[in-house]
Amino acid sequence: MFTSLSGNVENYDKITFGDNSKGKVEDLGKIEISSKYSINNVLLVDSLNFNLLSVGQLCDLGFQCLFKPNEVIVSKINGGEEVFKGF
């Protein structure tokens, strides 16, 4: 869930999905992924009914992802502190 939106989407128009359909970028904002951590520059895309989070973006921010059969666990690279789980 977004904690703030910037309204600054002039550098974004649409994103392209794997099936070549497009989604309009409505806004740019910040989300909290835990009580201690947040991610900036997250795109709010029209027509998505769920949240997508880039594994590459998480890794660039110092997180690691452990994929299991029914979940993914995201933790800090240094210290291994679990930040959140996804399904």
Ordered mean pLDDT values, 10 residues apiece, the chain (87 residues): 85 89 90 89 85 86 95 91 90
Q: Is residue 65 within a helix (H) or strand (E), and if so which, with residue range? A: strand 63-68
Whole-number Å distance between alpha carbons of 65 and 77: 9
The reported pTM is 0.72
The single-letter DSSP state of residue 48 is -
Q: What is residue 50's predicted lDDT score, i.e. its pLDDT? A: 75
Q: What is residue 33's predicted lDDT score, i.e. its pLDDT? A: 86
- The domain locations on the chain are 1-49, 53-87
Q: What is residue 69's predicted lDDT score, i.e. its pLDDT? A: 97
Q: What is residue 20's predicted lDDT score, i.e. its pLDDT? A: 95
